[in-house]
Amino acid sequence: MQGKLYTTTKRSFIQGDLLVTDLNMKKSKAIYWASGIVSICGIIFEVLFGAAGSYLLGDGVKQYTLTISLFLTGMGIGASVSEKVTKNLILSFVWIEYSIGMLAGFSTFVLFGVTAFLSSGMDAFFLYFITLVVGGLTGVELPILIRKANEIGVTVQKSTARVLFSDYAGGLIGGLLFVYLFRPQFGLVKTAFIVAIINVVIALWILIYFKKEIITFKRHLIAGIIILFVLVLGVLFGEKTAFMFEQKLYKDPIIYNEQTDYQQVILTKEQGDLRLFLDGQLQFSSEDEYRYHEVLVHTPMATSSSKNKVLVLGGGDGLALRELQKYDEVESMTLVDLDPRVTEIGKTNHELTSLNKDAFQDDRVEIINTDAFQFLKKDQTLYDVILVDLPDPNNESLNKLYTLEFYQLLRNHLRPSGSIMIQATSPTFATEVYWSIDKTVQAANLYTDNLHVDIPSFGDWGFVLAKREEVQLDNADISVDTKFLTNEVLQGLTTFGKDIDQEITDDKGNEVALDVNTLIRPSLIEKYEKAWRSY
C-alpha cells in the first residue's frame, strides 16, 4: 500500500515537473518570438529615420550614417540602463513597447510638421533626437527579455544566444521588408504607424501570455488598447495630415505625389506654372524651363559635326527630347533614366505630355531604365551628341555621375568631333562646385568651354560643353526654332563675372585649389552641401 502511494506520489511529482517544464518552454518560445518581431520593428525604424533624413535633409549617405550611428549609440545607452531594471520584467518590456509605439509611430508625422512650421535646423535636431531616444528604448528590450528567459529556467548562455539569434535574424527580415514592402507601398508616415502597431500588439500579446504574473493586468491592457487605437487613427489619417504639412514646403498646390522605388516625385501647379520636384529638389518650372533646355540641347547640337545618334542621360521628363525632335537629321535618341516611374509619368501624365509635346511617342526614342554609370560601362555605342541632364551631386549615388571615371566613360562613347553637354549646377551659388566639375571633365582628356544662363526659377545656372578637340563656339549656328537662344545670345553665355570665374579665392584672398572629383575621393559632395547651405 505504501509502495503504491509512494509510486503515485512520485508520478505526480514527475508529471508536475513535466508540466512546469513544458510551460516554461512555451514561455521561453514566446520570448524568443517577441525578441525576433521587435527586432524587425527596430531595424525598420532605424532605416526609416535614415530615409526620412535623406528625403528632407539631403545627402543620403550622411543621413543614414548619422541616424544608424545615433540609433546604435542609443541602443548602447539603453542596454546600460537596463541593468537597473530588475523587477516586473514583463511590465517593463510592455511599457517599453508602448513607448516605442507612440514615439516612433508619430516620428515621421511630427518630423514633417516640424519641417513645415519651425525654423531651419529644427527638423534635423528632432530627427536625431528621436532616433537616439527610440534607439535607447530598443536597447533596453533585449537585456530584459534575456533576463526573463533566464528567470523562467533557461540558462544564461542559452537565453542570451537564442534571444540574440532572434534579434539578428529579425534585423535582416526588417531591412528586406522596409526596402521591398513598407517604403514603396506605404511611404514614410504610414510605415511608422504600421510598425508601431506591431510593437504594441507584441506588447499586448506578451502581457496576456504572462497575465498571471501581473496583479494590475487590466489597467495595463486598457492602456495598450488605447495606444493601439490612437496608432490605428494615425494609419487612417496621419498621411493625409502630413500631406498638408508637406504642401507647406511647396509654393504651389501639389497635383501629383508618388513615392517611387527611388525617390519622391511631386508635381505642383499654380496659374499655369507646372513644377517638378524630385526628393524635394526643383527640376523645372514650365515658365522658364525652355531657357535651360535650349542651352542644354542646342549648344552641343550646333557644335557637333554630326547629329545622327544622341544619348540623353537623365531627362525623364521628356523636355530635352522635345528640343531634339526639332532636328530631322537625328536618327536615334537613347534616353537613360534610372527611375521607370519618372519616364512613365513623362509619357502618360497630361500636364507633362502637354509640355514635352508627347516626345516619348517619337519612333526614334528608346527608353532604358537603368543606372547611367552602369549603362556606359556595358554599352558599346558611339554617339554624336551626349546630354547629361542629371540632378545635382548632393549624395553619393549622384556624385559618381560627376566623377573622373564617369567622364572618362563619356569620352569613350563620344565620336570624334562630337559634343557633350553637362548641366553643372550654379556657378553663382556653388562657384567652387561648378569649376571643380569643369576641372574633372578636363582631367578626362576632354576640352571644355563654359556657359551660364539666367533661369528665373533657378537663378544663374551653369553648363560645361566638352569635346575631344578644342571647342569652337564662334562658328556655332542655332539652326532650329527657339524661344530664347540665338547665335548672339550663345556667345554672351560664355562670359563670367569676376566674382564667379575660376580664379576662386577664400575669405583671406588666397586662391583655392580645385580638386578632381573621383570615386575614391568624392570631394564634391561636401563642397556642394556647404555652398547651398545658405540658399
pLDDT digits over 156-165, tens only? 455 566 666 6
* Geometric angle at alpha carbon 272, from 286 and 262, rounded to 5°: 50
User: Both 237 and 357 in a single domain?
Assistant: no
Percent of the chain with pLDDT over 90: 57
Which residue in this structure is represented by grid cell 537564442?
A: 162
- Global pTM exceeds 0.75: no
User: Both 460 and 515 in a single domain?
Assistant: yes
User: Both 380 and 432 in a single domain?
Assistant: yes
Residue 10 lies in a domain: no
**Cα–Cα distance for residue pair 42/47, rounded to 1 Å:** 9
Query: Which structural domain, as residue segments, surrounds residue 103?
Result: 44-247
The helix or strand, by DSSP H or E, that contains position 75, with its residue range, turns out to be: helix 60-81
> What mean pLDDT is reported for the chain?
87
Residue 141: Cβ within 10 Å count:
27
Select from 216, 247, 278 the last residue of a domain. 247
pLDDT digits over 55-75, tens only? 777 666 778 889 999 999 999
Nearest to 384 by CA among 426, 427, 413: 413
**Cα–Cα distance for residue pair 278/288, rounded to 1 Å:** 18
Q: Which residue intervals of 339-430 are DSSP H helices?
A: 340-348, 350-356, 372-378, 396-399, 404-412
User: Both 418 and 509 in a single domain?
Assistant: yes
Query: Could you tell me the three cell numbers for 202?
Result: 507584441
Residue 363 predicted with pLDDT over 90: yes
Nearest to 515 by CA among 527, 506, 505, 507: 527
Residue 34 lies in a domain: no
User: Both 132 and 219 in a single domain?
Assistant: yes
Residue 11 lies in a domain: no
pLDDT given for residue 467 in this prediction: 97
User: Both 378 and 451 in a single domain?
Assistant: yes
Instruction: Classify strands 365-368 and 332-336 as parallel, antiparallel or unpaired.
Output: parallel
pLDDT given for residue 326 in this prediction: 97
Instruction: Classify strands 383-389 and 414-423 as parallel, antiparallel or unpaired.
Output: parallel
Residue 124 predicted with pLDDT over 80: yes
User: Both 189 and 312 in a single domain?
Assistant: no
Residue 485 sits in a domain whose CATH number is: 3.40.50.150
Feature table: binding site: 263, 293, 317, 337, 371-372
Is the model more confident about 523 or about 508? 523
Residues 387-399: what's their mean pLDDT? Answer: 88
pLDDT digits over 400-427, tens only? 999 999 999 999 999 999 999 999 999 9
Q: How many residues does the chain have?
A: 535
184 close to 259: Cβ distance less than 8 angstroms: yes
pLDDT given for residue 33 in this prediction: 83
Residue 446 lies in a domain: yes
Residues 147-158: what's their mean pLDDT? Answer: 64
Select from 198, 232, 247 the last residue of a domain. 247
DSSP strand E in 428-513: where? 447-455, 459-467
Residue 5 lies in a domain: no
Task: Beginning with the edge strand found earlier in the chain, give each strand of the sheet holding 264-270 in spatial order.
Answer: 254-259, 264-270, 273-278, 281-285
Main-chain dihedrals φ then ψ at residue 26, nearest 5 degrees: -65, -40
pLDDT given for residue 371 in this prediction: 94
pLDDT given for residue 8 in this prediction: 46
Residue 329 lies in a domain: yes
User: Both 218 and 333 in a single domain?
Assistant: no
Feature table: binding site for S-methyl-5'-thioadenosine: 263, 337, 371-372
Select from 198, 214, 247 the last residue of a domain. 247
Q: How many domains does the chain have?
A: 2
**Cα–Cα distance for residue pair 32/146, rounded to 1 Å:** 9
Report residue 243's pLDDT band, with 50, 70 and 90 as the boundaries. confident
Active-site residue list: 389
User: Both 243 and 384 in a single domain?
Assistant: no
Query: Could you tell me the three cell numbers for 62?
Result: 550622411
Q: How far is CA 379 from CA 409, 417, 465, in A?
A: 10, 20, 22
User: Both 241 and 376 in a single domain?
Assistant: no
Feature table: binding site for spermidine: 293, 317
User: Both 204 and 339 in a single domain?
Assistant: no
Residue 463 predicted with pLDDT over 50: yes
Residue 123 lies in a domain: yes
Report DSSP letters for 404-443, one per residue.
HHHHHHHHHTEEEEEEEEEE---TTTSHHHHHHHHHHHHH
Report residue 19's pLDDT band, with 50, 70 and 90 as the boundaries. very low
Residue 37 lies in a domain: no
User: Both 103 and 204 in a single domain?
Assistant: yes
